[in-house]
Amino acid sequence: MSLKTTFEQHPERRYIMFGGKGGLGKTTFSAATAYWLASQGKKVMVFSVDPQASLSDIFQKDIFGKGPVKIMENLWAQEIDADQHIKQYQGEIRQKILDMYGFDKVPDEIEQYIQAASAEPAMEESAIFDAVVDIVVEGNYDYYIYDLVPLGHALYYLSMAKVYDEWINKITHLREEMREYEEMVSRLKREKETEEDQILKELQYIRSRINASSRILTDKVQTAFFFVIIPEEMILIDTQKAAGLFAKFDVPLSGYVVNRVVPRELLQQQIPSYLRNRIQMQDKYLLQIDEMFGKQVSAWVPELERDVTGLSMIEKLAGIMYAK
Amino acid sequence: MPEEKKGFMQNLKEVIYGMAAHDMSRYAVRTRASMEHLFILITMGDMIGIPILPPYYSLRLLPYVVPQISTWKRRLLREKDISDAMF
């Protein structure tokens, strides 16, 4: 099924993701899809979950850390600045400590922990993960297009949701058990009701954030996940592996988009053998792709005469991707 | 008279509480405290060098455990098992 018919037949699929190895065209396809949907009159948000995001480059506009930036009619783009997000978050935590206990400064021991925790490698991913929830939960767009991180990271991102969820379940359970003991003490001492457990409330909040995000990633109705591939052996092998892993995490796979196909019309012209060889090589893998994925291939996208940056090139690519 | 009687009842209540329930509630308070420390260990483990997942959301919980942090650290270092008492 072509990309266009997929979108037309499934208007309920609002969360669109392009995944794949690095440098194959995830950002390009995200931008082109966003452009096409916006030109169809849909309100679209395309955002990047990659710390090394390149939406700024493709739209030729600096949007890093600037919140939702309007690119054209109906189209907004956003790049999350993880550092800024973490700094702001740390500030909120400090302020909360000061307010709760009336300190004039955060105790050294605690301050050290806040800083050490923020230096951990998982922090950046988690911060982006959390920021995405903000973007998606607000929900005033018709479509959300995730410009995903390369495969390895994306899997990490997905597994993080599961790990978080289990972690939260365990500690929520512990917390509830603690509460039972607390209640028992107050019953024995015939005291009034115990205070509400703020931590339990906080845990429930965290859980709701994580669930909101992982629910979308694995939503069979509203989410469409496309793999971007190119006709080369290594990519095909890796993608097959990754597809298996994604399936394990219940990511609903909608199709494959093949990028960088050298136009076959060139064969009718006088072309150097270098190019002829490349076409032959691609032919072999295109055949393989057809055997492997068959009808799951949603689009074959040609190698263009230049790289895709700027709205006019994006428009051209969208025209090709969504021609039929 | 009723005042005196109330005092007597109050005393009786306290005696009964002391005989029947005090131990239980002391035990419950202690269990509760151990659990509190276990909880801090799970959420803030990396504070003492035990990296337990995941720091981003642990920070949200940090403000609530600030007062317990120092007793928690002290207790972890002091923790003994039964063999320490035996020998």
Q: What is the ipTM of this complex?
A: 0.76
**What is the distance, to the nearest Å, from the Cα of residue A147 to the centroid of all Cα atoms in its chain?**
6
**Cβ-based burial of A321 (10 A; exposed 0-12, middle 13-18, buried ≥19):** buried
Question: What residue spans define the domains of chain A?
Answer: 3-84+122-152+220-321
**Number of A:B CB contacts under 8 A?**
110
Structure tokens at A117: 């925790």
Residue B69 distance to chain A (closest CA, Å): 9
Q: What is the DSSP string of A244-260?
A: HHHHHTT--EEEEEEEE
Ranges of chain B whose pLDDT falls below 70: 1-6, 51-54, 79-87
Residue type (1 letter), A109: E
* Largest pairwise CA distance in chain A: 95
State whether A96 and B63 contact (CB < 8 Å).
yes
What is the Cα–Cα distance from B55 to B59, expressed in whole angstroms?
A: 6
Question: How would residue A204 be classed by pLDDT, with cut points 50, 70 and 90?
Answer: confident
What is the Cα–Cα distance from B84 to B66, expressed in whole angstroms?
A: 30
Q: Is the CB of residue A177 less than 8 Å away from at least one CB of chain B?
A: yes
Q: Is the CB of residue B27 less than 8 Å away from at least one CB of chain A?
A: no
Residue A143, pLDDT > 90, answer yes
Q: Decide: A150 and A54 in contact? Cβ < 8 Å.
A: no
State what percent of residues in chain A have pLDDT above 90. Answer: 54
Q: Is the CB of residue A237 less than 8 Å away from at least one CB of chain B?
A: no
Three-state DSSP class for A69? Answer: strand
Q: Mean of the per-residue pLDDT values for chain A?
A: 89
Q: Is the CB of residue B70 less than 8 Å away from at least one CB of chain A?
A: yes
Q: Return the residue in B27, B57, B61, B69 with the most chain A beta carbons within 10 A, the one to mutate for interface testing.
A: B57
What is the Cα–Cα distance from A166 to A281, expressed in whole angstroms?
A: 46
Task: Say what the pLDDT of residue A51 is.
Answer: 73
Q: Is the CB of residue B47 less than 8 Å away from at least one CB of chain A?
A: yes
State whether B69 and A109 contact (CB < 8 Å).
yes
Q: For chain B, what is the radius of gyration of the CA atoms?
A: 20
Q: Is the CB of residue A180 less than 8 Å away from at least one CB of chain B?
A: no
A chain contacts of residue B32, beta-carbon cutoff 8 Å: 178, 181-182, 185
B chain contacts of residue A93, beta-carbon cutoff 8 Å: 59-60, 62-63
Task: Say what the pLDDT of residue A154 is.
Answer: 67
Residue A48 distance to chain B (closest CA, Å): 19
The total domain count for chain B is 1
Q: Is the dihedral of CA B6, B8, B12, B15 positive or negative?
A: positive
B chain contacts of residue A117, beta-carbon cutoff 8 Å: 46, 55-56, 58-59
Q: What is the DSSP string of A291-321?
A: HHHGGGEEEEEEPPSS---SHHHHHHHHHHH
Q: Return the residue in A97, A124, A171, A188 with the most chain B beta carbons within 10 A, the one to mutate for interface testing.
A: A188
Q: Is the CB of residue A183 less than 8 Å away from at least one CB of chain B?
A: no
* CB nearest to B55's CB, from A107, A123, A184: A123
Q: Is the CB of residue B50 less than 8 Å away from at least one CB of chain A?
A: no
pLDDT one-digit tens code per residue, A12-70: 999 999 988 888 999 999 999 999 999 999 999 999 877 777 899 999 999 999 999 99
What is the Cα–Cα distance from B79 to B75, expressed in whole angstroms?
A: 6
CATH of region A3-84+122-152+220-321, choose from 3.40.50.410, 1.10.3720.10, 2.60.40.2220, 3.40.50.300: 3.40.50.300
* CB nearest to B25's CB, from A100, A160, A185: A185
CB atoms within 10 A of CB B62: 22
Q: Is the CB of residue A122 less than 8 Å away from at least one CB of chain B?
A: yes
Question: How would residue A237 be classed by pLDDT, with cut points 50, 70 and 90?
Answer: very high
Half-sphere exposure of A199 (CA within 13 A, CB side): 22
Q: Which of A49-63, A204-218, A222-236 has the lowest mean pLDDT?
A: A204-218
Domain range for B6 is: 2-86
Task: Say what the pLDDT of residue B31 is.
Answer: 87
Residue B6 distance to chain A (closest CA, Å): 17
What is the Cα–Cα distance from A265 to A282, expressed in whole angstroms?
A: 14
* Residues 6 or more apart in contact with residue A312 via CB below 8 angstroms: none
Residue A153, pLDDT > 80, answer no
* Largest pairwise CA distance in chain B: 64
What is the Cα–Cα distance from A147 to A150, expressed in whole angstroms?
A: 10
State whether A167 and B53 contact (CB < 8 Å).
yes
* CB nearest to B56's CB, from A100, A130, A174: A130
A chain contacts of residue B28, beta-carbon cutoff 8 Å: 181, 184-185, 188
Cα A7-A48-A228 angle, rounded to 5 deg:
50
State whether A110 and B29 contact (CB < 8 Å).
no
Q: Is the CB of residue A200 less than 8 Å away from at least one CB of chain B?
A: no
* Residues 6 or more apart in contact with residue B11 via CB below 8 angstroms: none
